[in-house]
Structure 1
Amino acid sequence: MPGLISAMQGFVVIGIVIATGYVTARLQIGGKDAQMVLNRVSFFISSPCLMFAILSKEPIFEIFHSSIIVAFGSAMLAGLVFLLCNRLWFHLPAADATIGALNSLYLNSNNIGLPVATYILGNPALVAPILVMQQAVFTPIGLTILDITTTGKVTAKRILAQPLHQPLLIGSLGGIAVSALSAHLGWYVIPNYIFDPINMIGESAVPMILMAFGMSLHNSKPLKKTQHRGAIVTVAVIKNIIMPLLAFTLAYWGLGFRGATLYACVVLAALPTGQNVYNYAARYNVGMSFARDGILLSTMTSPIFIAIIAALLS
């Protein structure tokens, strides 16, 4: 299966960049604050530019493909499953539970999702609905909860103003607006001399996030914190097994999808947790080891389950 092999090569690429971040931290290149700087630059500048560049070029009808219903439903249910498990067994505080829920539902739709969609599914645009769903719905909700639980301030004004504090959402909505306007006019409305620098800055987001993640592994012992070990394993099980099963159920019996569309929904649901969750944890300085270990474990096991899904449904 050449497509499957190509997709697995995408995991190798990601691993090399993460390893580069680890070596960078080990050699103390950039100083002790290098990881924090990469996280902040990516969160406030590079990632919003990336989302704008991707979504503004994407046809508006592809962004809101009907598969977004499956992606939204399976992700929401996966997050609720973790919150239920937390209530029954783990009893994590609100901020850590929010990180656990994000770890369970958030898909690595960009740096793993794009190669998977390209090499296994044959259509990179299939990740566009997931990008919109995560940035427009789950990310603002998750970051609002983190903001409230870490500051202790809860007011209607603060909640309503929260989207204005989310650069990723602003970049995503700006890209969707440009896509809609371009579709209406019949030509892309942003001139190249403006789009190109935005795109160049955006292309730095994924390497920075991955390198910061690799830096976090230095002088740390992943999966060694016994108080979170059960929750971390639960995150990986929900992300790699339960969420694809939920997606299959919603797609097959709920919406009647068959063939390539059904296959795409299930494969994309099996993507590992996105490194963005660690970026958010670092932004609020909460649950960082939990986020890192959940991402690491789901990323290590995800290729196995994607291969199984490909063997069963492709």
Structure 2
Amino acid sequence: MFGILTAFAIILMVIAVGYLLDRTGIIRGKGDRDVINRIAFYAAVPALVFSEVAQTELADIFSPVIGVTFLVTLITAILYCVISVLFLHRDVPTMAAGAGASVYVNAVNIGLPVMSYVIGHATYMAPIMVMQAVIFTPPILAGLAAGGVSWRQILQRSLFSPIVLASAAGLVATLSPWTVPEPVLAPFSILGGAAVPLVLVSFGASLAATRVLQVREDRPSVITASFLKLVAMPAIAWLLGRLFGLGTEELYAVVILAALPSAQNVYNFAATYGKGTIVARDTVFLTTFAALPVMLVIALLFGR
């Protein structure tokens, strides 16, 4: 339990630093936040993704837990898009931000300690990162890029974004029989270490501009995405896990993975593209606070 609480405390502390930097004028509004987001999007996050994906064991990628998690993520994202089209009536970029926030889990600074505590190991986190970066990031970026641009530009901004290219390069390294030499991997690891702090600082700074749930037109999207992330996604994970005959430990892992809060990466994507930023930010904020009691309830239901 201490490991989980520490992970949440670290995130909230760095977010608070970003908030204070903006309030004191050190970060001067949207312009400075945009610079931080671009550094993260074009350099730090791709470096983190490559260094993590390149070191992933191939057998871990094709485990039953990852397979079920993929289906859970896909179903939940589709569910959000259907609700958005039928009831929320938002534009495509805002829908993409909400869909991403409803399924894209915080695999690094919360996922690692949580899985280490509740499962006893963090084997699943690198494959989750591979799945999110390689499969789900391109459509999220494509949705954020939509509106006033051609399909060619949308494809360029999604399939050829630095994060997707870094994911592909890391996957090639994983599939190859050779190991990436340490002198090559080390610079990516160092630069990737800046990714999470940069995104969290920018995230905290954005809270000084507008409060959570302050923008009325975005509230339904935020509440929907948060509900799907914290309630619907774990429930779907449990149902699919039972359907596919997962053992108790694997079922528990699938449900806990689904209950992880939304990743700050989605906010970084939205802020970089300048679309759906408030929906992504508010969903990340709400799910980060609410995920802990949700996971405690799940642990209780599984008798842990």
Bin of the TM-score, shorter chain as denominator length: over 0.9
Q: Name the structure 1 match of 2:214.
A: 224
Instruction: Kindly state the Cα deviation for residue 239 of structure 1 after the two structures are TM-superposed.
Output: 0.4
Shift of 1:176: 2.0
User: 196-205 or 218-227: which moved more?
Assistant: 218-227
| C-alpha contact 2:105 2:263 (8 A) present in aligned 1 | yes
Q: Which residue of 2 aligns with 1:240?
A: 230
Output the CA distance in 2 between the equivalents of 1:88 and 1:160.
26
Residue identity in the other structure for 2:8: F
Quote the residue 2:269 is aligned against. Answer: 280
Q: 1:241 to 1:27 in 2, by over 3 A?
A: same
Match of 1:311 among 281, 292, 300: 300
- Aligned to 1:290, which of 272, 279, 282? 279
- The CA distance in 1 between the partners of 2:16 and 2:195, in whole Å, is 17
Indicate the residue corresponding to 2:248 in structure 1.
Answer: 259
Q: Could you tell me how far 1:259 is from its partner in structure 2?
A: 1.8
Give the conservation status (yes or no) of the 8 Å contact 2:19–2:205. yes
SS class of match (1:295): helix
Give the aligned residue type for 2:124: L
- Secondary structure of 1:217's counterpart equals helix
Q: Is 2:14 the partner of 1:17?
A: yes
TM-score computed with the length of structure 2 as normaliser: 0.94
> Is the Cα–Cα contact under 8 Å of residues 96 and 287 in structure 1 kept in the other structure?
yes
Match of 2:163 in 1: 168
- 1:210 partner amino acid: L
- Counterpart of 1:309 in structure 2: which amino acid? I
Q: Is the 8 A contact 1:55 1:63 kept in 2?
A: no
1:78 maps to 76
Matched to 1:126, the amino acid is Y
Match for 2:208: what amino acid? H
Look up the match of 1:122: 120
Letter of the aligned partner of 1:208 in structure 2? Answer: L
Calculate the aligned-residue CA RMSD, in Å. Answer: 1.7
Shift of 1:15: 0.4
2:173 equivalent to 1:178? yes
- Determine if contact 2:92/2:146 at 8 Å carries over to the other structure: no
The alignment-based identity, stated in percent, is: 33
Pairing partner for 1:153 from 150, 161, 165: 150
Q: CA deviation at 1:25?
A: 1.0
Report the count of equivalent residues.
302
Q: Which runs of 5+ in 2 are unaligned?
A: none
Q: Distance in 1 between matches of 2:170 and 2:123?
A: 14
TM-score (norm 1): 0.91
When residues 92 and 163 of structure 1 are mapped into structure 2, their CA distance, relative to the original with a 3 A threshold, is closer
2:77 counterpart letter in structure 1: G
Distance apart, 1:31 and its partner CA:
3.6
Residue 261 (structure 1) shift: 1.0
Does the 8 Å contact 1:58/1:125 carry over to 2?
no
CA distance in 2, matches of 1:293, 1:163: 23
Q: Name the SS of the counterpart of 1:125 in structure 2.
A: coil
Pairing partner for 1:40 from 17, 38, 41 = 38
Q: Which amino acid in 1 is paired with 2:56?
A: E
How many Å apart are 1:212 and its aligned residue? Answer: 0.7
